[in-house]
Structure 1
Amino acid sequence: MFKPGGGPTARDWQKLTSDTPVRSAVRFPIRMAIRLQTEHGEVDAVTEDVSANGLLFTGRHLPDANSRIEFTMTMPGAIMGHSKDTVIHCTGRIVRHQKRVTDEIAAAVIDEYFLTA
């Protein structure tokens, strides 16, 4: 509880744990088809949103949590602040995976990315 006329005390702040999601990048609601390269082959998916740190996507038979993935996506120039679209090759890993009635949804963190021509 905050004290009148004073700032918060240390016990007023929620302690971050490894289970506390921290989102520090702006997420863009972009739906685009992507093809994931996984250790078990290629998987088609559709993004729900994309940020500099990761992406949320849906599809059928998506990789499990902790799986390594690789993919290339084309970000619209308007979002990237350029006159032309930007092609980005990414490597990352699945951090969350959930089965739904008709498909699956997964979130991935981007560990590395390279701008390609």
Structure 2
Amino acid sequence: MSEVRTGKRFDVHLPIKISGEGAQTHEGQTDNLSAAGVFLSLDQSLEVGSQVEFDITMPASVIGAEKDVRIHCHGRVVRTEGPKDGATNSGVACVIDKYEFIR
């Protein structure tokens, strides 16, 4: 199966809390990030097609800015992977449909 990428992905490992449908919150970290999506390592898998919301705080040192930048994202789950190599977290790929910078 070939992968379709819409932009360059960056290996960025940031803590994240993601809210799914039903106001359930999951914790984990980003594994990689692009302008169009994010791959997460979460404490629990989410269902493909689920609508999600999450905030990502980009550290100033990573983006070359004076201050950290917080981004609020709305998206949906497009793919999941079970835990690998004895890990307990599941992989969750999300498309970012809409985002806004939070001041």
Same fold, TM-score > 0.5, yes or no: yes
1:110 matches 2:93? no
RMSD of equivalent CA atoms: 1.6
Partner of 1:23: helix, strand, or coil?
coil
Structure 1 stretches of 5 or more lacking a match?
A: 1-18
Stretch of structure 1 that moved more, 50-59 or 95-104:
95-104
Shift of the alpha carbon at 1:24? 2.7
Stretch of structure 1 that moved more, 97-106 or 38-47:
97-106
Mapped partners of 2:69, 2:37: distance in 1: 16
Structure 1 runs of 4+ aligned residues shifted over 4 Å read: none
Map 1:1-117; keep pairs closer than 5 Å. 20-40=2-22, 41-100=24-83, 101=86, 102-117=88-103
TM-score, structure 1 as length reference = 0.76
Partner of 2:67: helix, strand, or coil?
coil
Structure 2 stretches of 5 or more lacking a match?
A: none
Count of aligned residue pairs for this structure pair: 99
Partner of 1:82: helix, strand, or coil?
coil
Mapped partners of 1:80, 1:25: distance in 2: 17
Mapped partners of 1:45, 1:62: distance in 2: 11
Q: Aligned residues: percent identity?
A: 32
Shift of the alpha carbon at 1:20? 4.8
Structure with the larger RCO, 1 or 2 (CA within 8 Å, 6+ apart): 2
